[in-house]
Structures are given as structure tokens and as C-alpha cells.
Structure 1
């Protein structure tokens, strides 16, 4: 799911919906947890998400970098770039908010990404997670070629997950075999359940919840 921002009621309904789903291992939040990078915004969202029956993990969004948001995010959630493995799947989570760094050609950190992609120990498949997808104007355009080339060079990559644009998209915009997905903001009261298995295989289910219209 993506972009909780100020959608606190929707976040509560999201938690209730996820807790009713069988077989969920964990929740990935695609950034923009806050709207203005305020400590209280992170606190208000966490107070709701901590009621999930499974762990949740995050990537940093562009709104999370506003003001002191970067420091708050790191204090609450840890590194801006990190990786973990779960049941043979490697998840690479990284900061792609290039505009917030003045398009300094350093974000995302492609060298770090390439290093993680080449670390194949115990990995059957790989999923990359970020907030801003490379086809968006808030992604540093100078870094797009190297970033997409790094992903294209990983034959274990299942897909690239993003958020930021507040709607669902799926496709291969660079026509290179790499599938990019973006998900809804919680304002849309929709999220996705993704199941991955085998050789780059996945199933996607869209869940609609708590609608009052």
C-alpha cells in the first residue's frame, strides 16, 4: 500500500481489512507516511499501523523528507536504504526521491543498488521497493538510465514496486522485461495483495475496503 499521509480514518479501516486476510506475511508501505514530515504525523500513523497482526516495513517518500522528516523517519524506521530476505526472496528498499535532493545525481544510490542485486546468497528472486518510480518526473532524470539498467540486468527480479502517484499502474514502460507496479494511496481505500513464487512468478489481488459511497 502507499501514501498514508493524512488519511488516518482510511488507515484504521486498512488495518481492519488486512487483519481479516488469511496468509499475509507482512505489509510494505510505499512511502509518504507523513504529509509535512512532522513527528506527530509519523506517531499518528504508527499508532494505527501497530495494530496490524503482521509486521509492516516502509520506504521513505518525498513528503517524509520535508522539514525534519528525514531525521524523524530514520529515528523511527531506520536506514533510508536497506535490504532483507524472507523465504528466499530478497527485498531491496531504497530512497528514490531525487527532486528532494535537488537532482544531485546521488539519489537513488545506484552503486548500492547494484551491490545488493549482485548479492545472490540465499536468494531465489528479488523485489525492489521505492516511493518514486523511475518513470515519474520527481525521479532524477540523470539517474534513470543507470537505475533501469541495473534492474534489467537482474534475472531474478520479479518486479519494481512504487507508490507516489496515488493510483494503480502496471507495465513495462522501458520495454526491457522489467515490470513496474504502483499502488493506490490509502485515500482510494484500495490496496494490493502480492504473492510471489517460483521463477519470477506473481499473483496480484486488489482489495477494496471501507467504502461509504
Structure 2
């Protein structure tokens, strides 16, 4: 099974730029075209939050217009820039999304089970899951301790070292870590939020964050570094599952490169 992951497209109303400088809508459209052009078609696409920039209804209308071009099944979770109720309304045809409350769900119709956790707090930018959500997660993952499982949420549950990202990280990770560690079949924890690829061994598994299809947040580790981003190389992730070989993840850069050349 090949699972593609796109994150943080920050779609704007038609004709408007992200942060006034970046055509995030065009770049999201290019990311969708990139998935269609891969030499192996993904079986599923995961969109791990910040689908739009300000949570506005007109942004979701534009996002749905762009997603109508995606011919691969996809699943969505919100990010801190999304508005939960507008998000729910925009994806009302996605029957897996709960009708009320946080947008946690489980999809168990693929060779890999997908467990989605809504780590967003309405009106705030840092991540957290309340006791009710953690209890739901505990019940859900304990229902099958054998099937390979991906857990996805928007906020990575670790400190990255980039100060202006860590100021609104997932807070109080210990309860979530204990639940994930209690089972042995979580192949990967997939996240967005940080607009970069990061890897961390955590809770007996691996956390992998996805680059943004729009901008790249600057890698600055000085504790007093000022927030900065680049219009760098956009990318997505490809997670390849094989029953014999397990899971392997690849960064797939979006856009044209020189080549191919006849060597490897």
C-alpha cells in the first residue's frame, strides 16, 4: 500500500496570496498534479492539517474546488489554522468525520489502519488532546493490537529545537506517549504543522512530520531566533507499506528538476 501525505497547504480565497507573497492555491494544485504524475499511484492521500489559512468558509470552498481534481481517495484532519466547525461543514460528505465534538476517527478498510487524532484547541495554536480524546484513542488502538497502524495528528508531539515552532507545540505529551507506547503496532505517527521533515524516535515508534506544499519554515536552532520562512522546495511524503518489508517513508519534492540522467 502506498500512502501519500500532503500537509499545510494554507489555501486562501481565490485570487489571494498566503501571507501576501505566496500563491499557496497554485502550489496546492501542483501538489495534487504531482501525486497524479508519480510512477506508482498512491492508494490513499492523507491531508494532515492547516488545509486553509484562516478557517474561512470561502477558503474551504476554494480547497474543495482544488481537491475535486484529486482522483485518489483522501482523508483529512484539521490544523491550528483551520476552524473546526467550518472544516466539518466543508467536508460534510466525508462520513467518517464525527458530527459533533473533536474530529477523531479510525479507518480500518485498508491493509494499514488509519487512526486520526484532532490535536487542535479552538482559538489557540498549540496542540493538545483532552482526557475524553485520549480515552477514545486508548479504546481505538486497543481494539486491534496486531494490525499495522498509522496515527496521524497535526502537531508533532515533541520539541523540535526551533524556538518559534516550539512555542506552540503539542503540550503535555506524556499521556499521549503512554497510550501509544502501550501497544506495539503503531508503525508511524504522522504530523504536519512544522513545514519541515523531522524524524524522532518516540513512544516505541517513529514520528515523521511532513513538509508543507507551500513554504518551508527556517531551520534556526538559536533560542532567540526570529520567526522566518522560505519559499523553498515544496514537498510531500510517500509512505510505502509492504507486509514483508514493513513501512518506509520518502520525501517527494514537488516541481521540475534537471534530469533524469542515465545513472543511479
Name the CA shift for 1:134/1:199 in 2 (closer, same or farther; >3 Å).
farther
In structure 1, the residue matched to 2:211 is 184
Give the match for residue 165 of structure 1: 194
Correspondence 1:92 to 2:137: no
Q: CA deviation at 1:76?
A: 2.3
Q: Over residues 75-119 of structure 1, what are the superposed CA-to-partner deviations in whole Å (9 max), with x where a residue is unaligned?
A: 123331111013332111011124828888627811111011111
From the superposition, tell whether residues 189 and 145 of structure 1 become closer, same or farther in structure 2 (CA, over 3 Å): same
Please, which moves more after superposition, 162-171 or 44-53?
Answer: 44-53
Aligned equivalents of 1:126 and 1:61: distance in 2? 21
Aligned-partner Cα distance in 1 for 2:74–2:138: 25
C-alpha spacing 1:210/1:33, structure 2 compared with 1 (3 Å): same
Per the alignment, residue 149 of structure 1 pairs with 178
Q: What are the residue-to-residue correspondences of 1:69-88 with 2, within 5 Å? A: 69-77=83-91, 78-79=97-98, 80-88=103-111
User: Counterpart of 1:2?
Assistant: 7
CA contact under 8 A between 2:114 and 2:151: conserved in structure 1?
yes
Residue 16 of structure 1 and its aligned partner are, at CA, apart by 1.0
Structure-to-structure mapping, 1:99-178, within 5 angstroms:
100=124, 106=130, 109-120=133-144, 124-136=147-159, 137=166, 138-142=168-172, 144-172=173-201, 174=202, 176-178=203-205
Work out whether residues 119 and 127 of structure 2, in 8 Å CA contact, stay in contact via their aligned partners in 1: no
Q: Contact between 1:125 and 1:199, CA under 8 Å: does it hold in 2?
A: no
Q: Higher helix proportion, which one?
A: 1
Distance 1:195 1:108 in 2: 32
Label 1:90 to 1:46 Cα distance change in 2 as closer, same or farther (>3 A): same
Confirm or deny: 8 A CA contact 2:80 2:125 kept in the other structure.
no
Q: Residue in 2 aligned with 1:35?
A: 53
Q: Which moved more, 1:94-103 or 1:1-10?
A: 94-103
8 Å contact from structure 1 (residues 97, 107) kept in 2: no
1:13-52 aligned within 5 A: 13-21=30-38, 22-52=40-70
Question: Structure 1 residues 26 and 88 mapped into 2: Cα distance closer, same or farther (>3 Å)?
Answer: closer
Q: 1:45 to 1:101 in 2, by over 3 A?
A: closer
Unaligned runs of 5+ in 2: 1-5, 12-23, 92-96, 160-165, 215-232, 258-264
- Alignment coverage as a number of residue pairs: 205
Stretches of structure 1 that go unaligned for 5 or more consecutive residues are none
* Residue 104 to residue 55, structure 1, CA distance change in 2 (3 Å): closer
Asked if structure 2 preserves the Cα contact closer than 8 Å seen for 1:2 and 1:186, the reply is yes
* Structure (1 or 2) with the larger CA radius of gyration: 2
Using structure 1 for the length normalisation, give the TM-score.
Answer: 0.86
Aligned partners of 1:163 and 1:50: how far apart in 2? 22
